[in-house]
Chains A and B, each alone.
Chain A
């Protein structure tokens, strides 16, 4: 029986496929002088520092970037995981990774010297690298100076229909709401959140940058954003006008200080390249890398020896909320549920 040409070509195709596939399907071996990073942060934010590290030490940095699921990947890969380090933003994410058991404690004099104790885990499971303030921005035209000075002010009825924020479910909002719970208790925090919700100009949407844009377009007058977004907009040709339409307010200067959050890193429990990983951690806390961070991303360096960028310093000095982030993060799930209960996201 003559086999059909179609079957033949199908067979050929699958043969070729399996040859290609077997050459290409298994995990490439990991060479010695490398360090492997699972990152929740966008590569373009951290790559310059990694490149500098490779230049100085000859150690190659391999990365996988994703916004979800990397901790789960670590958990599943178990002790054979190739990853050495996790990078993420938000203290809630960092402590979440620690709780799921995928990290290990790191003892390093360099790290302990470069990073103040409030920005690292007591057992060395996570280290902050940069610091950002959750600031309030207000329309230059429509909000008088001194009208808004505290997070608590945002619940005042006179601001009805004038506030914009991103989703209450986002980690930055979650951390702020958690800190409100930590300071005022759940009932008062809920009352506050209800007040803010009643003042919203629109359904929470977009990222922090989009809120400033909304102010410049007259859709709202007040927004809560992370500080570095201001830097990003002030140095962008198109977006400069948005940033220029608002005043920066560091909230709660008369009392507890402004709520801060961190971006940071953890060493994985299974790290196969432990030495290289430690080198990278120490490098990132060093003056050089911290200055690069400060300059490029407009964040506050955790290393006290390194000043913030000139632009960031021009926003002025301010007091941080001294409450340890580990106390804030305890209220993470409660905060998330409050958002549902008051219907913050509409």
Chain B
């Protein structure tokens, strides 16, 4: 519904913006957007898939810890990491100061140092916080892969590398594609980082047309263009694997995987490779944030902290549950009735993730306030009471917005796991007299456990970080950790905002670790 509302907005611009855009900045917007997405795609795929493969199939020092540590950067909002690295790497930052001291340079013109505030910088920042999507989903996929298939491959004489590229990767492809799609959609809707780094992407252009030129319709047209972009990407991916279908037999599926013990140089290499993204994406930002938090503790601490943290946690967890339930419903109904209309509807409903949050918020607002005002008018007419705005400006609208926004995440993860369950199992269960709900509960849910948990976890952490929609839609005097960060960060007072950034990271951390442990165990339970 909100997505249709955005399209509806796009049909009502105040002025045709395209001639102006095409003749001036559109080529730049497009170039930057495509380059950003390509960079993020390559980066997240490389880091995400390789680390997932290593921790699943090899044994090396620190592997157990890295399993969950690799998820940590996920808890760091992109706009926070962008601020942190700018502080570290800009001219006055400690890195360049040290270089100047060592080499005796004094001015910026004396030496070359890559500018962090650039397209390249934005790519690196986004890769560092978005690769966990790919990691998470590909790891879940690798874990769900049947050991016997890999053993069969081994028996047929395939080397480890061959097994990765010819068996494991193609089989994990739906899951990896979902992870990648999420990373890319988040890249598309990101505004904080690209704005801070002065990279003009389509999203930046959207906000400019809306706010700078006062043309919300024109902005919505750009949003629709972005949607089209996503639809093409998703379609392309689906098309390219149209002939494939990966289901796995139920037998022996959960036999323990034998991990290959790595030693010496190779072990060090594996550890380093997996440790690097954690250090860059989490440990360094965390240290900087802790330092700032201590310095600015008195400016930023306030007594409402518990309420604010509770707001964040409750909102995110409810949204996570709702989104996963809805996602499950969508996936399962798609499985039961394989109609084109339904598939298209499901596809559209999961596009919310690619729309910049503030625009989606307006899309959410339109149907809700229409409903509220219509109900109010009705009640006034017949009962002479005013119901006012029942849902708009309530927590309900926020939960709804989060669900719309993160449905892609929930649904994608669930769908990827569900697709791997052989339809023969459904047939068998049905022939034994089970209802569709019974099959879902007794067969699918247990088999999809890690996929489901992953979905809950991802939506929860995303909810903790959600900012633009929360800002616009929230009730009076309602703050989340993210809005607290924003009130300072929006004025580039990164020091004052550090405490709350740190809290987002810390609160996001606990479920990350807990759930990661559960996902890990999901294999062992059925041994």
Q: Which residues of A contact B (CB under 8 A)?
A: 1, 3-4, 6-7, 10, 13-14, 17, 20-21, 24-28, 36, 42-44, 62-70, 72-73, 76-82, 96, 99, 167, 169, 171, 174, 202-207, 209-210, 213-214, 216-219, 332-333, 336-337, 340-341, 343, 345-346
Residue in A closest to B209 when the chains form the complex, CB atoms: A336
B404 contacts chain A at the CB level, 8 A cutoff: no
> Measured between alpha carbons, how far is A82 from B212 in the docked complex, in Å?
27
A341 and B24 in contact, given A63-B476, A66-B472 (Cβ under 8 angstroms) = yes
> Measured between alpha carbons, how far is A63 from B483 in the docked complex, in Å?
13
B131 contacts chain A at the CB level, 8 A cutoff: no
A337 touches B198 (CB 8 A): no
B487 touches A36 (CB 8 A): no
Q: Mark B354-370, 1 if CB is under 8 A from A, else 0.
A: 00001001100110111
> Measured between alpha carbons, how far is A64 from B399 in the docked complex, in Å?
17
A78 touches B373 (CB 8 A): yes
> Measured between alpha carbons, how far is A70 from B487 in the docked complex, in Å?
15
A21 touches B318 (CB 8 A): yes
B197 contacts chain A at the CB level, 8 A cutoff: yes
Residue in B closest to A336 when the chains form the complex, CB atoms: B212
> Measured between alpha carbons, how far is A219 from B211 in the docked complex, in Å?
30
Besides A42-B488, A209-B492, A337-B20, 8 more A-B contacts (Cβ < 8 Å) are A7-B442, A43-B487, A72-B472, A77-B369, A80-B373, A82-B393, A343-B28, A345-B200
> Measured between alpha carbons, how far is A174 from B208 in the docked complex, in Å?
11
> Measured between alpha carbons, how far is A170 from B207 in the docked complex, in Å?
11
> Measured between alpha carbons, how far is A151 from B483 in the docked complex, in Å?
37
CB-CB < 8 A to A169: which residues of B? 208, 212
Q: How far apart are B308's CB and chain A's nearest CB, in angstroms?
A: 12
B108 touches A6 (CB 8 A): no
> Measured between alpha carbons, how far is A333 from B115 in the docked complex, in Å?
32
CB-CB < 8 A to A171: which residues of B? 212
CB-CB < 8 A to A79: which residues of B? 373
With beta carbons under 8 angstroms apart, the residue of A69, A80, A216 that contacts B358 is: A69
B437 contacts chain A at the CB level, 8 A cutoff: yes
With beta carbons under 8 angstroms apart, the residue of B213, B369, B399, B477 that contacts A62 is: B477
A167 and B198 in contact, given A62-B476, A72-B362, A80-B376 (Cβ under 8 angstroms) = yes
CB-CB < 8 A to A24: which residues of B? 395
CB-CB < 8 A to A216: which residues of B? 92
A27 touches B362 (CB 8 A): no
Q: List 5 A-B contacts (CB under 8 A).
A: A62-B476, A203-B198, A206-B198, A218-B91, A340-B25
A70 and B472 in contact, given A174-B212, A337-B213 (Cβ under 8 angstroms) = yes
A26 and B365 in contact, given A6-B441, A80-B373 (Cβ under 8 angstroms) = no
A217 touches B441 (CB 8 A): no
Residue in B closest to A238 when the chains form the complex, CB atoms: B495
B12 contacts chain A at the CB level, 8 A cutoff: no
For the residues of B in contact with A, the DSSP-based class is helix
B213 touches A42 (CB 8 A): no
Residue in A closest to B364 when the chains form the complex, CB atoms: A76
Q: Of residues A213, A332, A333, which shows the largest number of chain B Cβ atoms within 10 Å of its Cβ?
A: A333
Residue in B closest to A216 when the chains form the complex, CB atoms: B92
Residue in B closest to A34 when the chains form the complex, CB atoms: B476
A80 and B445 in contact, given A63-B477, A206-B492, A207-B491 (Cβ under 8 angstroms) = no
B396 contacts chain A at the CB level, 8 A cutoff: yes
Which of B263-271, B383-391, B410-418 makes up part of the contact surface? B383-391
B392 contacts chain A at the CB level, 8 A cutoff: yes
B372 touches A80 (CB 8 A): yes
CB-CB < 8 A to A214: which residues of B? 91
CB-CB < 8 A to A210: which residues of B? 492
CB-CB < 8 A to B25: which residues of A? 340, 343
CB-CB < 8 A to A63: which residues of B? 476-477
Q: Mark B474-509, 1 if CB is under 8 A from A, else 0.
A: 111110000100011011100000000000000000
B468 touches A68 (CB 8 A): yes
A27 and B392 in contact, given A4-B441, A69-B361, A346-B198 (Cβ under 8 angstroms) = yes
Q: Mark B99-131, 1 if CB is under 8 A from A, else 0.
A: 000000011110000010100000000000000
A68 and B472 in contact, given A174-B212, A218-B108, A219-B91 (Cβ under 8 angstroms) = yes
A68 and B91 in contact, given A6-B446, A27-B393, A42-B491 (Cβ under 8 angstroms) = no
B394 touches A25 (CB 8 A): yes
Q: How far apart are A213's CB and chain B's nearest CB, in angstroms?
A: 7
B393 touches A68 (CB 8 A): no
B216 contacts chain A at the CB level, 8 A cutoff: yes
B325 contacts chain A at the CB level, 8 A cutoff: yes
CB-CB < 8 A to B325: which residues of A? 14
> Measured between alpha carbons, how far is A20 from B310 in the docked complex, in Å?
14
Interface hits, B503-526 → A, CB 8 Å: none
> Measured between alpha carbons, how far is A174 from B1 in the docked complex, in Å?
35
A27 touches B391 (CB 8 A): yes
> Measured between alpha carbons, how far is A99 from B438 in the docked complex, in Å?
57
> Measured between alpha carbons, how far is A72 from B364 in the docked complex, in Å?
11
Residue in A closest to B216 when the chains form the complex, CB atoms: A72
B321 touches A13 (CB 8 A): yes
CB-CB < 8 A to A64: which residues of B? 474-478
Residue in A closest to B212 when the chains form the complex, CB atoms: A336
B214 contacts chain A at the CB level, 8 A cutoff: yes
Residue in B closest to A21 when the chains form the complex, CB atoms: B318
B212 touches A217 (CB 8 A): no
B373 touches A44 (CB 8 A): no
Closest 7 CB pairs of A and B: A7-B441, A62-B476, A205-B198, A66-B471, A340-B24, A69-B472, A25-B396
Q: How far apart are A79's CB and chain B's nearest CB, in angstroms?
A: 8
B198 touches A4 (CB 8 A): no
Interface hits, B414-448 → A, CB 8 Å: 434, 437-438, 440-442, 445-446
CB-CB < 8 A to B477: which residues of A? 62-64
A42 and B487 in contact, given A72-B216, A80-B376, A337-B20 (Cβ under 8 angstroms) = yes
A26 and B394 in contact, given A4-B442, A341-B24 (Cβ under 8 angstroms) = yes
> Measured between alpha carbons, how far is A78 from B318 in the docked complex, in Å?
29
Q: How far apart are A269's CB and chain B's nearest CB, in angstroms?
A: 14
CB-CB < 8 A to A42: which residues of B? 487-488, 490-491
A213 and B361 in contact, given A73-B472, A169-B212 (Cβ under 8 angstroms) = no
With beta carbons under 8 angstroms apart, the residue of A36, A68, A345 that contacts B198 is: A345
> Measured between alpha carbons, how far is A186 from B294 in the docked complex, in Å?
51
Q: Of residues B390, B392, B399, which shows the largest number of chain A Cβ atoms within 10 Å of its Cβ?
A: B392
> Measured between alpha carbons, how far is A169 from B307 in the docked complex, in Å?
37
> Measured between alpha carbons, how far is A341 from B25 in the docked complex, in Å?
8
Residue in A closest to B394 when the chains form the complex, CB atoms: A27
Interface hits, B203-245 → A, CB 8 Å: 207-208, 210-214, 216
Q: How far apart are B479's CB and chain A's nearest CB, in angstroms?
A: 9
CB-CB < 8 A to B117: which residues of A? 203, 205-206
> Measured between alpha carbons, how far is A203 from B106 in the docked complex, in Å?
22
CB-CB < 8 A to A4: which residues of B? 438, 441-442, 445-446
CB-CB < 8 A to B208: which residues of A? 169, 336
With beta carbons under 8 angstroms apart, the residue of B115, B198, B442, B487 that contacts A65 is: B487
Interface hits, B1-22 → A, CB 8 Å: 20-21
